[in-house]
Amino acid sequence: MNILIHPSYFPSISHFAAMAQSDSITFEMEDNFQKQTNRNRTYIYSPNGVQLLNIPIKHSRSSHQKTKDIKIESEFDWQKQHFKSLEAAYRSSPFFEYFEDDILPIFQKKHTFLMDLNFEVLEIVSKCLRMKIEFGTTTEYFHEIDNNQITDFRYLINGKKDLSVFENYPQVFDDKHGFINNLSVLDLLFNEGKFAMDYLKSQTLIR
């Protein structure tokens, strides 16, 4: 399977399942930024249930700004807040301490552009999953593509359009709130560790 997909911030399980099951990956680079999507946000399982982690961005006067040109707003210490939230959510998970040193640089390095951060996240998480990731990038934007040649998973960037339902796995606070489906891949990684990749390969995707 050849797929077209967006880079995103600590992508959802559906994002990584699509990548884990693909033969080749092309990342969309020429799209316009859209608010309220996972381009700059991710969802984790906190002690109180689902928690949104959002990267603040610098807004342009132009309503049509390409995602690759979006800059991160550095006035807010969002990195510290996000890591504290991850600690509160996953410190007691089986594999948080195992992967902590791998992901920590993401919250220490200052990026100017959102896209650069998202690609570093992809690189680090892929290494944690022991997933070899080779990819291409688009050079122009096509609203529709031929699904006989490449499977269009770009819709996954909009969580409201992502209707994926996956098998249950143990989660830290599932005794309080039950199983929460399709969170950030970090939720799977911290709870399942070395078994995460097998899980991603075995899930059924909506195409």
pLDDT in tens, the chain (207 residues): 999 999 999 999 999 999 999 999 999 999 999 999 999 999 999 999 999 999 999 987 777 899 999 999 988 899 999 999 999 999 999 999 999 999 999 999 999 999 999 999 999 999 999 999 889 999 999 999 987 889 999 999 998 899 999 999 999 999 999 999 999 999 999 999 999 999 999 999 987
Three-state SS at 2: strand
What pLDDT score does 76 carry?
Answer: 87
pLDDT score at 148: 80
Q: How far apart are CA 5 and CA 154, in angstroms?
A: 5
Instruction: Note the pTM of the prediction, 2 decimals.
Output: 0.95
pLDDT value, residue 59 = 81
pLDDT for the residue numbered 207: 79
DSSP helix/strand/coil, 135: strand
pLDDT of residue 26: 97
**Secondary structure in 3-state letters for the chain:** CEEEECCCCCCEHHHHHHHHCCCEEEECCCCECCCCCCCCEEEEEECCEEEEEECCECCCCCCCCEHHHCEECCCCCHHHHHHHHHHHHHCCCCCHHHHHHHHHHHHCCCCCEHHHHHHHHHHHHHHHCCCCCCEEECCCCCCCCCCCCCEECHHHHCHHHCCCCCCCCCCCCHHHHCCCCCCEHHHHHHHHHHHHHHHHHHCCCCC
Tokens coding 92: 């007691």
Residue 51, amino acid: Q
